[in-house]
């Protein structure tokens, strides 16, 4: 049996509630004069007090040394081995904005970018984080592109992000991305990684050539790249595996998409962490499991803004009393991946993790930070361990074997 089949076999019903609070890109590296990370530098009396009565450790998203994307990082948090279940980000973005994605559609996450008009090299991979309304106008412009034998859909997401979907017979995934992940490089062509995808790659390259022609005068968003080109793989859902009524609270479309793919109900919420807490309170009686996502820790890390990342962590700490007042039976706090401000990108570093529940033996950790958690009782685990641990501590797993 696979691990998910074990969970499906052992899952039982109980009147208990679980919160998985994910601070995106939480993990950091020492950067202050006295060598503290963003989490260690933040003033977090509530998180520290929770750590003191919890059990802590460090967790790896995928495998040692592997830098995860947001999709694999979150799938692992939801109990799916990301080495087995590989989901393209285009699918997650499309589902996250409520697009009616069909099984044979090919979806890509689009990023508007800035190209040097003389050399064609990328000078800004995110086009200066253009406002969402500008991105929407550019998407309308790109809807004029038509490809032979397929329908095309171009939908705005947020800021510089958009979704491109191709619909038609004979499409296939198995396609490379066009973003070289560096400035000073040209966009790459889409390449098929298997023969069935050759026609789809050709169509996408046609679309890109026309898109870049239409965007040529739209500085700073005078170019675009495609990432995470994929079809919906059809995951087994969390309600089916764990027997949980699952609600997702997230402000960004991609994270709503991965939650929806996993079978969660995506709950309407506002744009602030305080709004998300109010959503949690509103729906508290309706669900057994809540995925509570905080995005801006990651955005600050990618921008290399140590102080802003600290401020977001402190904002989470301020709302912790309201979250804990709901008396969840289990709360797990961690991140999907590390985004150290000094690195300005996702990284492979382990994540601090905190597990609070009634039936634990506190481990002596008294502060929620990377180095305190290295000495915690959970030791070094993987993200895919979170859901089994949460289920067990919530009294939702039967005994295995006689």
Q: Are 225 and 240 within one domain?
A: no
Domain stop point among 211, 230, 249: 230
Check whether residue 106 and residue 246 sit in a common domain: no
402 in a domain, yes or no?
no
Structural domain contains residue 401: no
Residues 192 and 251 in one domain: no
- List the alpha helices (DSSP H) in 11-129: 38-41, 45-52, 70-77, 89-96
pLDDT at 2: 58
Q: Is residue 197 part of a domain?
A: yes
Backbone phi and psi for residue 393, each to the nearest 5 degrees, phi listed first = -70, -20
Same-domain check for residues 207 and 247? no
Bridge partner residues of 294 (DSSP): 23
In a domain, 152, yes or no: yes
Tell me, what CATH number does 286's domain have? 3.40.720.10
Q: Do 103 and 164 have their domain in common?
A: yes
The pairs formed by 78-83 with CB atoms below 8 angstroms and a separation of 24 or more are 78/238, 78/258, 78/262, 78/291, 78/387, 79/3, 79/4, 79/7, 79/238, 79/241, 79/242, 79/384, 79/386, 79/387, 79/388, 80/4, 80/235, 80/262, 80/384, 81/3, 81/384
Indicate whether 256 and 386 sit together in one domain: yes
The span from the CA of 238 to the CA of 259, in Å, is 9
Domain encompassing residue 117: 93-230
In a domain, 400, yes or no: no
- Are 312 and 348 within one domain? yes
> Number of folded domains in the chain?
2
SS3 content of the chain, % helix, strand, coil (to 5): 35, 20, 45
Residue 370 · residue 37 · CB < 8 Å: yes
Backbone phi, psi, residue 288, to 5°: -95, -30
Torsion-angle region of 234 (φ positive above 0: left; ψ -120 to 50: alpha; else: beta): left
Identify the three-state secondary structure at position 365.
Answer: coil
What 3-state DSSP class applies to 301? helix
Read off φ and ψ for residue 149, nearest 5 degrees: 80, 0
Q: CA gyration radius for the chain?
A: 21
Domain presence at residue 349? yes
Q: Is 105 helix (H, G, I), strand (E, B) or coil?
A: coil
**Structure tokens belonging to residue 33:** 């004069």
The neighbour count for residue 225, using CB atoms within 10 Å, is 22
263 plus 389 within the same structural domain:
yes
Do 79 and 387 form a contact (C-beta atoms < 8 A)? yes
Of 180, 199, 230, which residue constitutes the final position of a domain? 230
C-beta separation of 76 from 82 below 8 A: yes
Cis peptide before 22 (omega within 30 of 0): no
Domain boundary at 182, 198, 230, which?
Answer: 230
Pick from 229, 219, 244, 199: nearest CA to 78: 244
Handedness of CA 262, 268, 274, 278 (dihedral sign): negative
Residue 49 lies in a domain: yes
Report the CATH number that the domain containing residue 119 is assigned in CATH: 3.30.70
* Residue 75: inside a domain: yes
Entry field: residues in the chain: 402
Helices (H) and strands (E) in the chain, counts: 14, 13
Asked if 62 and 193 sit in the same domain, the reply is no
Residue 242 and residue 226 share a domain: no
Same domain, 126 and 270: no
CA-based nearest residue to 389, from 334, 346, 337: 334
Which residues of 16-119 form beta strands (DSSP E)? 18-23, 55-60, 106-115
Q: In degrees rounded to 5, what are phi and psi of residue 292?
A: -115, 110
Average pLDDT, 10 consecutive residues per value, the chain (402 residues)? 84 98 98 97 98 98 95 95 88 88 94 96 95 97 96 95 96 96 96 97 98 96 96 91 98 90 95 98 98 97 97 98 98 98 97 97 96 97 97 97 86
Same domain, 310 and 331: yes
């Amino acid at each position: 049996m696979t691990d998910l089949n074990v969970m499906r076999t052992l899952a039982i019903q109980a009147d208990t509630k679980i919160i998985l609070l994910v601070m995106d890109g939480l993990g950091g590296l020492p950067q202050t004069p006295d060598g503290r990370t963003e989490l260690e530098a933040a003033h977090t009396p509530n998180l520290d007090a929770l750590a003191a009565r919890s059990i802590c450790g460090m967790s790896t998203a995928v495998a040692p040394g592997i830098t995860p994307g947001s999709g694999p990082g979150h799938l692992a948090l939801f109990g799916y081995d990301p080495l087995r279940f590989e989901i393209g980000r285009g699918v997650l973005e499309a589902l996250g904005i409520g697009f009616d994605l069909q099984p044979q559609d090919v979806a890509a996450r689009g990023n508007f970018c800035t190209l040097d008009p003389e050399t064609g090299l990328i000078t800004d991979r995110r086009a200066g984080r253009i406002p969402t309304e500008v991105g929407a106008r550019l998407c309308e412009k790109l809807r004029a592109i038509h490809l032979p034998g397929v329908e095309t859909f171009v939908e705005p997401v947020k800021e510089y992000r958009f979704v491109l979907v191709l619909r038609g017979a004979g499409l296939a995934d198995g396609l490379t991305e066009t973003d070289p992940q560096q400035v000073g490089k040209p966009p790459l062509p889409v390449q098929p990684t298997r023969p069935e995808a050759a026609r789809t790659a050709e169509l996408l390259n046609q679309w890109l050539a026309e898109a870049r022609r239409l965007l040529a005068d739209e500085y700073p968003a005078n170019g675009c790249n495609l990432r995470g080109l994929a079809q919906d793989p059809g995951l087994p859902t969390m309600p089916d595996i764990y027997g949980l009524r699952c609600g997702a609270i997230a402000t960004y479309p991609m994270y709503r998409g991965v939650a929806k793919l996993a079978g969660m109900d995506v709950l309407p919420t506002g744009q602030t962490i305080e709004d998300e807490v109010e959503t949690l309170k509103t729906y508290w009686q309706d669900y057994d499991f809540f995925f509570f996502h905080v995005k801006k820790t990651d955005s600050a890390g990618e921008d290399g803004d140590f102080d802003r990342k600290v401020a977001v962590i402190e904002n989470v700490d301020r709302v912790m009393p309201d979250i804990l007042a709901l008396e969840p039976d289990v709360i797990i706090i961690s991140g999907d991946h590390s985004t150290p401000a000094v690195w300005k990108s996702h990284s492979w570093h382990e994540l601090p993790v905190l597990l609070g529940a009634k039936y634990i033996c506190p481990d002596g950790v008294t502060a929620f930070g990377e180095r305190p958690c290295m000495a915690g009782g959970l030791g070094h685990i993987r993200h895919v361990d979170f859901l089994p641990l949460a289920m067990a501590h919530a009294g939702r797993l039967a005994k295995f074997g006689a």
